[in-house]
Amino acid sequence: MAYKIVVIPGDGIGKEITDAAVKVLQAADKKFGLDLQYTYKDAGGTAYDKYGKPLPEETLAACREADAVLFGAVGGDKWDHVDPALRPEKAILGLRKGLGLYANLRPVRIEEALVDYSPLKPELARGVDLVIVRELVGGIYFGDRCESETYHGVERAWDLENYSVPEVERITKLAFETARLRRGRVTSVDKANVLATSRLWRRTTEKVHAGYPEVELQHLYVDNCAMQLAIHPAQFDVIVTGNLFGDILSDEAAVVGGSIGMLPSASIGEQTSLYEPIHGSAPDIAGQGIANPMGTILSAAMLLRYSLHEVEAADAIEVAVRQTLADGVRTADLWKEGFRKVSTDEAASAVAECV
Ligand code: IPM
Ligand code: MN
């Protein structure tokens, strides 16, 4: 039986990086006989230009029918001035909500070949192997908001953060289960010294933890966590946190690995899950064929692992990425003297050959 994959390239470098990942998937398909079938759909600024909206119903419907979704990136300055409700970013937010993608897994592992690229000293960067479990369909991203109102004679805007107990239970369970398969440590990140939502988060996490006595639980305030990620990132195994804190901490954690272009993510849904690199659409380098496709290629590996349960093929892609880097193949973001500078497509071909 064929697997149905919806590919959403999106905007900016989205097309180049999803083309690269599909090339690698095709190599894995050939080797492991997976029978992958691809359907391409529009979303983001590209969809706004064509249909006047960032997430056409047809795109969402196709995703609901699919076994998995591979997503590039959306956004760009070109659409900075469109109505906030129609911004390209609304496409990914709409997909998250529409597919119930409640958990975003962002693994950060520093490849030995890339230790020198970390902005941290090698002795701090070496051995980092953590995963951020970010709540993805709640919190301040999806609370009520007001773009502008007059209050006591001055203009103001507001965004509301709320979390319910079931929302926190669902995401923290997944974090404990993830930790159980790893090194058995969860760090829950909040701002419980100030925010009511964080105090509910902390109480609920502790209740859920009672069911996972073999996992160690630690709480950290988000400001302290941000600092710990910079001074001793190897201490972390699983970090679980809300939508906004997870957005910020995952970019910080990503850069520890040398390039944000390397980092994959899986957004786990009730049915269909979606896979995307954590970087954005990088309009400044779009169309030049120089983007680093590794984050998207590794996202495709996560797709094979979590949605299709094709573990061997997923392993093969991850090993191939590591091997390609060890062989000295580098896109511009990671290139330096003595290495082989390649385009996005050449990097993909190198990984595909290795698979
Ligand atoms: C991410 C992105 C999105 C987010 C944007 C594009 C809405 O930064 O996936 O981390 O903030 O969640
Ligand atoms: Mn982000």
Each residue of 23-63: pLDDT tens digit? 999 999 999 999 999 999 999 999 999 999 999 999 999 99
Q: Is the CB of 251 under 6 A from ligand 1?
A: no
Question: What atom of ligand 1 comes closest to residue 243's alpha carbon?
Answer: 12
Q: What distance in angstroms lies between residue 350's CA and the mean position of ligand 2's atoms?
A: 28
| Alpha carbon nearest to ligand 1 atom 12, residue | 247
Q: Is 67 among the residues known to form the active site?
A: no
Q: How sure is the predictor about 259, in pLDDT bands with cuts at 50, 70 and 90? A: confident
Q: Which ligand is nearest to the CA of 252?
A: 2
Nearest-CA neighbor of 295 among 106, 113, 128? 106
- Compare 259 and 340 and report the one with higher pLDDT: 340
Question: What atom of ligand 1 comes closest to residue 75's alpha carbon?
Answer: 6
Q: What distance in angstroms lies between residue 261's CA and the mean position of ligand 1's atoms?
A: 15
Q: What distance in angstroms lies between residue 249's CA and the mean position of ligand 2's atoms?
A: 9
Does residue 277 surpass a pLDDT of 80? yes
| Alpha carbon nearest to ligand 1 atom 9, residue | 278
Q: Is the CB of 29 under 6 A from ligand 1?
A: no
Q: Is the CB of 95 under 6 A from ligand 1?
A: no
Question: What atom of ligand 1 comes closest to residue 96's alpha carbon?
Answer: 12
CATH 3.40.718.10 maps onto the chain at: 1-100+271-355, 101-269
Question: What atom of ligand 1 comes closest to residue 74's alpha carbon?
Answer: 6
Classify domain 1-100+271-355 by CATH number. 3.40.718.10
Residue-wise pLDDT tens digits, 141-158: 999 999 999 999 999 999
Q: Is 251 among the residues known to form the active site?
A: yes
| Alpha carbon nearest to ligand 1 atom 5, residue | 89
CATH class of 101-269: alpha beta
At residue 281, the pLDDT reads: 96
Q: What is the mean pLDDT of the segment spanning 281-287?
A: 95
Q: Which residue is catalytic, options 90, 247, 275, 333?
A: 247
Q: Is the CB of 266 under 6 A from ligand 1?
A: no
At residue 113, the pLDDT reads: 80
